[in-house]
Homo-oligomer: A and B are copies of this chain.
């Protein structure tokens, strides 16, 4: 990894997006959102993902100048169509609208269909929290995990985000319903390491921590085995129902690439409805951090706490980017 200054990264990403036909407004917003992910240490969904975004524009999956539009409205719940626009700018617009609805109705819910990969789902959880709202959102994906009891991959790892505002740094769960991402399994193999907990099945059908064995089957494990399988199925079902959009099954039929997704964005206004959230959040955070540690020198962090340390460091020292990927970006 090399470290590059924000302005340089921003100007390159923006100009490349414009080169491939993206208008200035969306090119700037998309670049900003990607860089925020790299700054926060979510490298896989920051600059490192950029070549795939350009490739998806070239393939016509992402229509970068299309904006989402409302196609149904029922008070605090609205259905939108993403029109295959840029995934992260579409998602930001949806959470923004959900926050507007929450200001009016206490809670807001947007379901969007025909959208694209939102990169880091946490972006939209933090967005809600920055606006004094609890944010809950999830996306479906292409089929990439077997249902419990199955060999072939028919369910998605459907990331789920829940975020609560907190003055010391918002508390957030941002995670896929698979135990490990494909990238994490590959990285462990390349580093010659075992996974810290079981991540999938080997060729003989046994649960294993060996990344090379899992790569032979790609039968990755849902979190909590049968439980995560059920959660994944329900998240997909709710997103596709509310948006009247593609299910994981439908996304798999469109392409071996991943586009045309369904997502849900819920915001609940706590800033303008009730005011006691700091007491609650502080009670929980302090109690968890006071736990008896398994390893005395390993601090127990609250969910998303480490992000803020990474952010501060990267803002000071430059944003880490893989050198090979950066060369690829520059050559686009």
Q: Are B281 and A241 in contact (CB under 8 A)?
A: yes
Q: Are A242 and B268 in contact (CB under 8 A)?
A: yes
In the assembled complex, the Cα of A111 lies from the Cα of B290 at a distance in Å of 28
Q: Are A292 and B76 in contact (CB under 8 A)?
A: no
Contact A147 to B291, CB < 8 A, known contacts A104-B75, A228-B224: yes
> Which B residue sits closest to A165, measured CB to CB?
B241
Chain B residues near A60 (CB-CB < 8 A): none
Within 8 A of B (CB), among A89-123: 104-109
Q: Are B227 and A175 in contact (CB under 8 A)?
A: yes
In the assembled complex, the Cα of A27 lies from the Cα of B237 at a distance in Å of 36
Chain B residues near A294 (CB-CB < 8 A): 149-151, 205
In the assembled complex, the Cα of A89 lies from the Cα of B295 at a distance in Å of 44
Within 8 A of B (CB), among A232-253: 233-238, 240-242, 244, 247-250
Chain B binder among A2-10, A270-278, A317-325: A270-278
The answer, yes or no, to whether A283 is at the interface (CB within 8 Å) is: yes
Contact of A171 among B151, B229, B233 (CB under 8 A): B233
Chain B residues near A287 (CB-CB < 8 A): 154, 247, 249
The answer, yes or no, to whether A214 is at the interface (CB within 8 Å) is: no
The answer, yes or no, to whether A77 is at the interface (CB within 8 Å) is: yes
> Which B residue sits closest to A300, measured CB to CB?
B149
Q: Are A234 and B164 in contact (CB under 8 A)?
A: yes
In the assembled complex, the Cα of A244 lies from the Cα of B279 at a distance in Å of 9
Within 8 A of B (CB), among A105-146: 105-109, 134, 136, 146
Copies in the complex: 2
A276 nearest CB across to chain B (Å)? 5
Q: Are A238 and B104 in contact (CB under 8 A)?
A: no
A115 nearest CB across to chain B (Å)? 16
Chain B residues near A227 (CB-CB < 8 A): 173, 175, 179, 223
A155 nearest CB across to chain B (Å)? 7
The answer, yes or no, to whether A303 is at the interface (CB within 8 Å) is: yes
Chain B residues near A171 (CB-CB < 8 A): 233-234, 237
In the assembled complex, the Cα of A172 lies from the Cα of B228 at a distance in Å of 12
Q: Are B269 and A74 in contact (CB under 8 A)?
A: yes
Chain B residues near A106 (CB-CB < 8 A): 74-78, 109
In the assembled complex, the Cα of A205 lies from the Cα of B147 at a distance in Å of 30
Q: Are A151 and B293 in contact (CB under 8 A)?
A: yes
* Further 16 A-B residue pairs, CB within 8 A, beyond A162-B235, A247-B280: A76-B76, A77-B269, A77-B273, A107-B108, A107-B109, A147-B288, A149-B295, A149-B300, A150-B291, A155-B288, A171-B233, A175-B231, A197-B198, A240-B284, A241-B281, A247-B284
What are 7 contact pairs spanning A and B, CB under 8 A? A74-B273, A78-B106, A147-B288, A149-B293, A171-B233, A223-B227, A250-B283
